[in-house]
Amino acid sequence: MTVAVPRPVAALPRVVGADLKVPLVTGQFVEYANLDHAASAPCLEQVRDAVDELLPWYASVHRGAGFASHVSTRVYGQARDAVRRFLGARAGDAVVFTRNTTDALNLLARALPRRTSVVLFDTDHHAALLPWRGPGVRRLRTPSSAAGAVLELDRALRACPEGPRLVVVTGASNVTGEVWPVAELAAVARRHGARVVLDAAQLAPHRPVDLKALDVDYAVLSGHKLYAPFGAGALVGRADWLRAAEPYLVGGGATALVTDHGDRLGVAWSAVPERHEAGSPNVVGAHALGVACDVLGRHWERTGAHERGLLARLRAGLATVPGVRELSLFGAEHDRVGVVSFVVGGQDAGYLAAALSAEHGIGVRDGAFCAHVAVHRLAAGQRALRASLGLGSTEEHVDRLVAALRSLVLEGPRVDYAQRDGRWEPAQDTRPLPPFLV
């Protein structure tokens, strides 16, 4: 008789600061409940260790004969390959390292052929909403269903003039966490001869992203949302528009040859991707991003189960707090990642966020989350609160948030608060700063 041996359950990747203690206005210290992963995720321990391992070898990339430079150049190339694998890029796709998603989308906007029609939805994050300028840009009002978004895009593309077309698609809303119908929107774009750029900043930390399977032309992401907060992001996708465009920035690395012609300089630009990576590359940031991609790519099943459980617990708990209303684009049952935004009737979001931090050691986001159109519309002009989950989140963090909100709504704060420079703070804030800031 053969006895099946159960497979060991892979542990979640650990984040730096998981045991961080923060001060309260009461004088106590508590474990920090980081529920602000959608803004910036903490660093993975594997990423920190990989950066520490690289630092003694850190040197210029592509520009030195020394052995350390050779090592750094190899690391930089391996990071490019890791990002390519993580996003399921095609063999001929370019991987251009940038500072972040905003930088990547601005780069692509600068590389568009003349008279390109750009179609996007007005509830996108500002990084996806603002880089596109000119009469060819059409901003669509987001409908109340994912199917409606597909139909609205089809109508918009039918009305576009002949010529190059680009559709900007959000993978997951940074306001509501709702997952957009990327493949369906891409199929519509294909029927009308349009290209698609996917803003994967909020989707990539939570779900696999595959450019080939989704049939999108470009994807952008940020390391600081992907557990690699070392100042790197990426634009990944078709190289032809990037090859034809002037460099995003000009300087060393973007130039293959500069010649003196007296009254002018002759410049031969580098090939893609170096063409759009002027200056000394951020090899440390690229390495961190590549390692994070490899680590997350090996743990999707475990991290997905972790997040789904916490998300259900969070939404069920918030529903029990008097006055809480969750924000949604497509309805409460729509698929979403671990991001929940909400308003609390009669309560100022900034004040609640300050009290959650000062009295309970909880970090959430308040405001409009660089998506002002979406938040103002969904929250009826109010500022909102956002709790976002990730690898550093626990059941205790979720339960603490729910209990703290209920206490603040029903009983009020324990200390007085005042506004300073537009932000709420304890009127007498005695919380000590960490030693490196003193």
Q: What is the structure's pLDDT at 1?
A: 43
Distances (CA, A) of 230 to 68, 146, 226, 369, 406: 20, 34, 10, 21, 37
Q: Round to whole Å and give the CA distance between 219 and 107.
A: 12
Same domain membership, residue 154 and residue 32: no
Angle at the Cα of 310 (from 342 to 380), degrees rounded to 5?
10
358 contacts 352 by C-beta, under 8 angstroms:
no
- My answer on whether 215 and 169 are in the same domain is yes
Mean pLDDT of 314-326: 98
Instruction: Write out pLDDT tens, residues 352-391.
Output: 999 999 999 999 999 999 999 999 999 999 999 999 999 9
156 in the same domain as 93: yes
Is residue 361 a contact partner of residue 24, using CB atoms and an 8 Å limit?
yes
Q: Are residues 282 and 428 in the same domain?
A: no
Question: For all residues of the chain together, what is the average pLDDT?
Answer: 95
User: What value does the mean pLDDT take over residues 329-340?
Assistant: 97
Provide the pLDDT for residue 6. Answer: 44
348 pLDDT exceeds 70?
Answer: yes
d(CA 278, CA 288): 20
Kindly compute the dihedral angle of the four CA atoms of residues 318, 324, 325, 326, in this order, to the nearest 10 degrees.
Answer: -30
Which of 297, 328, 362 marks a domain boundary? 297
**Residue span of the structural domain in which 400 resides:** 21-42+300-437
Question: Does residue 15 form part of some domain?
Answer: no
Domain boundary residue among 279, 297, 315?
297
CATH number, position 171: 3.40.640.10
Residue 10 in any domain: the answer is no
In this structure, is residue 2 part of a structural domain?
A: no
Count the domains in the chain.
2
Same domain, 287 and 339: no
Are both 357 and 426 inside the same structural domain?
yes
Contact in structure between 96 and 241 (CB atoms under 8 Å) = no
List, for residues 214-267, the tens digit of each pLDDT value.
999 999 999 999 999 999 999 999 999 999 999 999 999 999 999 999 999 999
pLDDT digits (tens, 9 = 90+) for 113-124: 999 999 999 999
Task: Please indicate, yes or no, if residue 204 is contained in any of the structural domains.
Answer: yes
Looking at residue 10, its pLDDT comes to: 59
293 shares its domain with 338: no
Residues 242/111, Cβ–Cβ less than 8 Å: yes
**Interval 33-59 mean pLDDT:** 98
Instruction: Answer yes or no: is 61 within a domain.
Output: yes
CATH number, domain containing residue 422: 3.90.1150.10
Q: How many residues does the chain have?
A: 438
Q: Are residues 387 and 372 in the same domain?
A: yes
Residue 146 near residue 96, CB atoms below 8 Å? no
Picking from 56-70, 192-206, 337-351, which range would have the lowest pLDDT averaged per residue?
56-70
Which of 297, 312, 331 finishes a domain?
Answer: 297
12 located within any domain: no
Bond into 143 cis (ω within 30): no
Does residue 193 form part of some domain? yes
Specify whether 308 is located in the same domain as 240: no
Active site residues: 370
- The verdict on residue 289 lying in a domain is yes
Residue-level pLDDT at 305:
97
Distance of CA 59 to the CA centre of its chain: 28
CA distance 383 to 276: 38
- 72 and 198 in a common domain: yes
Query: Using an 8 Å Cβ cutoff, are 277 and 253 in contact?
Result: yes
Structure confidence at residue 7 (pLDDT): 46
